[in-house]
Amino acid sequence: MINCLLHLLQNETYSQTLLFQRTLFDHMLAQKAAKKSPEPLHLIMVEHPPVFTFGKNANRQHLLINDDEMSNLQASVHTIERGGDITYHGPGQLVVYPIFDLEALGMGIKDFVHCIERAILSTLVDFGIQASIIPKTIGVWIDIGGPKERKIAAIGIKCSRFVSMHGLALNVNTDLEMFNHIVPCGIPDKGVTSMEIELGCKIDMLEVKTAIGKHFASIFGLTIINHDK
């Protein structure tokens, strides 16, 4: 088992969280360059204030509002290093950032993404939600092939020398109206959903954090250690 520090962030801005991610990521790369053990790994969990993020190859036209409308929403915009197009993060959405050394875990990038998807799917099953994945499309979906195919979780990562940053966003009690201001993940013909919508009630965020942490530990072979930032 590999030790992994769990960071439950509170009240940080998106910029502060991004800086924290990069600090851990850069330190892990430096450890590898010095041929030192990269342990421990890190798992960050956070709810962001409203923010729209562009991946490095995103289409800027997929943001459908202007600066004034952005200001009225009290939202910010960031262009970051992950893959993928545009997405939204905000209150009621659980964002999880694994800062992992994939070589220490004995896996490649495709296996890493697949394991993240498994952790999300297992968490949803814990709450009575059946979801699945679409081949060649990253993320977790409900009613695949049906008339109301909809996305409940997005994944966007960056890897350098097999060290990861960025991660997943699971819609728990998210305000889905915010997705009307973008073309989510650059896919115009599919909807989004949340655990709250699927179950018809508010979901306890701490229970979701506990569940997904448990599945990350099981799937990746980790010993999770709670750690204050």
Q: Does 167 have pLDDT greater than 70?
A: yes
112-138 pLDDT, tens digit per residue, is 999 999 999 999 999 999 999 998 888
Gyration radius from the chain CA atoms: 17
Band the pLDDT of 41: cuts 50, 70, 90.
very high
Fold of 2-226: BirA Bifunctional Protein; domain 2 (3.30.930)
Torsion sign, CA atoms 16, 9, 209, 27: positive
d(CA 19, CA 168): 17
| Chain mean position to CA 198 | 19
44-101 pLDDT, tens digit per residue, is 999 999 999 988 888 888 888 888 888 888 899 888 888 778 889 999 999 999 999 9
What are the CA-CA distances from residue 204 to residues 18, 37, 102, 172, 216 (Å)? Answer: 25, 36, 31, 9, 19
**What's residue 184's pLDDT?**
62
List 4, 115, 159, 185, catalytic entry: 185
Q: Does 20 have pLDDT greater than 90?
A: yes
**What's residue 185's pLDDT?**
56
* Catalytic annotation present for 185: yes
Name the strands in the sheet holding 76-79, side by side, starting at the edge strand that comes first in the sequence: 76-79, 51-54, 86-89
172-224 pLDDT, tens digit per residue, is 999 999 998 877 655 555 789 999 999 999 999 999 999 999 999 999 999 99
- 193 close to 154: Cβ distance less than 8 angstroms: no
Domain ranges of the chain: 2-226
Q: Longest Cα pair distance anywhere in the chain, in angstroms?
A: 53
For the chain, give the percent of residues with pLDDT over 90: 69
**What's residue 229's pLDDT?**
54
